[in-house]
């Protein structure tokens, strides 16, 4: 039986050949000399050279899951959760929007408080955040505002990629969604089952849809639906 790790970093990947190697290298730099951390790469049916990059750089991660076809980011996250042995789980997008060095802040909060959930806020940023479309900012404000009302929290950015939570707080096998709305489904379960929540400032270099960003504004409606039904389940 594998010994439990402190933190599992799950990297869902779909057609990220331009940034994947740099992300893996940055995560490995963060992980260096930290034996309590594992890195799980999940190739979600990429049709570019992402799988080739992964195969050529197996020293940069601990486990690889290769899906033959694209099933969605949520499905890739669930695949990673299936094999993760960390007490805490976090996700790393395979682009360069988020800096893995910010995960050090998560480890400090874990060591000091043993929280149930930590969210990295792009709006209480550490050194920098890239300006993005006003409509996206308003969408994020709306879903965060609704979440805070329904769950009596005070978060500023619930749809940051950087969430870190105790794996024991919910059964990943019971997750129903496979798209971007899955993060809302997970957060609803975590907050309902947990008690101690933190936010930390992070840096953010957001990319545009022309650069390869995949989330669309209409995804907000799926997220809102999850927030509402999650409160009353």
Secondary structure class of 176 (helix, strand, coil) = coil
Has residue 131 got a pLDDT over 80? no
| Number of domains forming the structure of the chain | 1
User: pLDDT of 184-223, one tens digit each?
Assistant: 999 999 999 999 999 999 998 875 545 545 556 667 899 9
Q: Could you give the dihedral angle defined by the CA atoms of residues 162, 114, 26 and 83, in that order, rounded to the nearest 10 degrees?
A: -80
| Run of H or E including 103 | helix 103-113
Please give the residue range of the domain that contains residue 63. 5-232
Q: What is the mean pLDDT of residues 166-178?
A: 94
C-alpha 181, offset from chain centre? 12
**What rounded mean pLDDT belongs to the chain?**
90
pLDDT of residue 143: 95
- The two most distant CA atoms of the chain are separated, in Å, by 49
Q: What is the mean pLDDT of residues 27-36?
A: 89
CA distance linking residue 44 with residue 34, whole number of Å: 27
Q: What is the mean pLDDT of residues 158-177?
A: 95
Q: How confident is the model at residue 92 (pLDDT cuts 50, 70, 90)?
A: very high
Q: What is the CATH number of the domain that holds 146?
A: 3.90.550.10
- The pTM score is 0.90
pLDDT of residue 218: 67
pLDDT of residue 223: 93
Q: Which two tokens stand for residue 211?
A: 């650069």
């Amino acid at each position: 039986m594998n010994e439990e790790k402190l933190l599992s970093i799950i990297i869902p990947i779909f057609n990220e050949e331009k940034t994947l190697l740099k992300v893996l290298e940055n995560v490995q730099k963060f992980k260096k000399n930290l034996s309590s951390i594992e890195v799980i790469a999940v190739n979600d049916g990429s049709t570019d050279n992402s799988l080739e990059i992964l195969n050529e750089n197996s020293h940069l991660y601990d486990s690889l899951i290769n899906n033959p076809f694209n099933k969605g980011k949520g499905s890739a996250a669930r695949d990673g959760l299936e094999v993760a042995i960390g007490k805490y789980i976090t996700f790393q997008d395979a682009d360069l929007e988020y800096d893995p060095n910010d995960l050090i802040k998560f480890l400090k909060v874990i060591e000091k408080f043993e929280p149930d959930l930590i969210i990295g806020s792009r709006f209480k940023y550490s050194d920098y955040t890239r300006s993005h479309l006003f409509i996206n900012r308003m969408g994020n404000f709306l879903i965060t505002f609704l979440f805070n009302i329904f769950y009596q929290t005070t978060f500023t950015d619930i749809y940051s990629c950087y969430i870190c939570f105790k794996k024991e707080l919910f059964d990943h096998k019971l997750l129903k969604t496979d798209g971007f709305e899955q993060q809302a489904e997970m957060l609803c379960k975590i907050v309902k089952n947990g008690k101690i929540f933190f936010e930390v400032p992070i840096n953010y270099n957001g990319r545009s849809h022309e650069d390869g960003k995949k989330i669309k504004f209409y995804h907000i409606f799926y997220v809102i639906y999850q927030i509402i039904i999650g409160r009353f389940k």
